[in-house]
């Protein structure tokens, strides 16, 4: 990115698209536009209306830094510092799993199954995106969110404050910080990637998402084996446990619910690609 002719918006977008494509980045032109929007303080329409505008030196410097990071496959969300989820903007860093739109299926199902919940638990909250999204839709509910990572909880608390969501954050594994408490609804997006598959993930995930938010053990199901049998003790009568699962895991996770013996027949909910993405079951009363 260095030559005598001025770097106009169109010229630098064209160069960046070619560069990022060569680095294996998908949607390179679109991502180039998003980064340039952040640097220039414009929206995408503004970029298109100013294709011939030369960039100031400060803009070039900031943009070069972003492009360099993205060329190393650092996630765009880390570079821009945010990710949209359920219509809300969430602050993200390398301390938390980047919110995925697949997880919106979990939120939608929770709202469908327990619209009158007054006590809700988000286990393994990460960025806090699930807890915040649910709290915005269930203002009557006392919302609790847990995580084993203090760094993740700090990000989640920041996101809760950003959206005016009053949430209780507790550190600990599974139900360890919740002795004696019960909830109408427990939701979780636990780590579910089999350990052997982690080296095969895209660099953006493998190298930048927290390993503890990815690694679900040998077959990816370790957390479900621990969570599902333990949850009934912490559910109110007819309370719901709703979990996100990985590809081809829904059947086995549903069997965990059945084997536990404390639940009504579990329900599998597909995502937009017809993949079983969420398993939900109600405590047997």
pLDDT, tens only, 95-130: 999 999 999 999 999 999 999 999 999 999 999 999
Strand 183-188: give its sheet, edge to edge: 167-171, 142-147, 119-123, 183-188, 235-244, 276-282, 267-270
Q: Which residues of the chain have pLDDT under 50?
A: none
Quote the pTM value: 0.91
Question: Which residue, among 150, 52, 133, 106, has the nearest Cα to 271 in the 3D structure?
Answer: 106
- Note the maximum CA span of the chain: 75
Q: Is 72 exposed, middle or buried (0-12, 13-18, 19+ CB in 10 A)?
A: exposed
pLDDT score for 283: 97
pLDDT score for 5: 78
Q: Is 199 exposed, middle or buried (0-12, 13-18, 19+ CB in 10 A)?
A: exposed
Q: Dump pLDDT digits (tens) for 185-207.
A: 999 999 999 999 999 999 999 99
pLDDT score for 285: 81
Rounded Cα–Cα distance for residues 146 and 156 (Å): 10
Q: Is 182 exposed, middle or buried (0-12, 13-18, 19+ CB in 10 A)?
A: middle
């Amino acid at each position: 990115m260095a030559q005598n002719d001025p770097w106009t918006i169109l010229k630098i977008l064209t160069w960046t698209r070619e560069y990022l494509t060569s680095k294996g980045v998908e949607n390179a032109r679109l991502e180039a536009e998003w980064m340039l929007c952040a640097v220039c303080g414009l929206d995408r329409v503004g970029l298109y209306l100013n294709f011939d505008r030369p960039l100031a030196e400060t803009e070039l410097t900031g943009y070069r830094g972003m492009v360099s990071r993205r060329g190393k496959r650092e996630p765009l969300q880390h570079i821009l510092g945010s990710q949209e989820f359920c219509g809300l903007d969430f602050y993200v860093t390398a301390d938390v799993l980047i919110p995925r739109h697949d997880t919106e299926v979990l939120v939608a199902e929770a709202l469908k199954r327990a619209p009158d919940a007054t006590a809700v638990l988000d286990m393994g909250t990460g960025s806090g995106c699930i807890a915040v999204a649910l709290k915005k839709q269930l203002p009557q509910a006392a919302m609790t969110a847990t995580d084993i990572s203090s760094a993740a909880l700090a990000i989640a608390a920041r996101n809760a404050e950003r959206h005016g969501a009053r949430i209780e954050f507790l550190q600990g594994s599974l139900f360890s910080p919740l002795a004696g408490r019960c909830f109408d609804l427990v939701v979780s997006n636990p780590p579910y990637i089999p350990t052997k598959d982690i080296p095969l993930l895209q660099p953006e995930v493998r190298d930048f998402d927290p390993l503890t938010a990815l690694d679900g053990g040998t077959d990816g199901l370790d957390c479900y084996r621990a969570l599902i049998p333990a949850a009934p003790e912490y559910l109110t009568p007819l309370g719901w446990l709703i979990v996100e699962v990985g590809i081809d895991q829904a059947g086995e996770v549903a069997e965990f619910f059945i084997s536990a013996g404390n639940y009504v027949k579990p329900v599998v909910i597909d995502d937009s690609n017809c993949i079983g993405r969420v398993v939900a079951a109600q405590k047997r009363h």
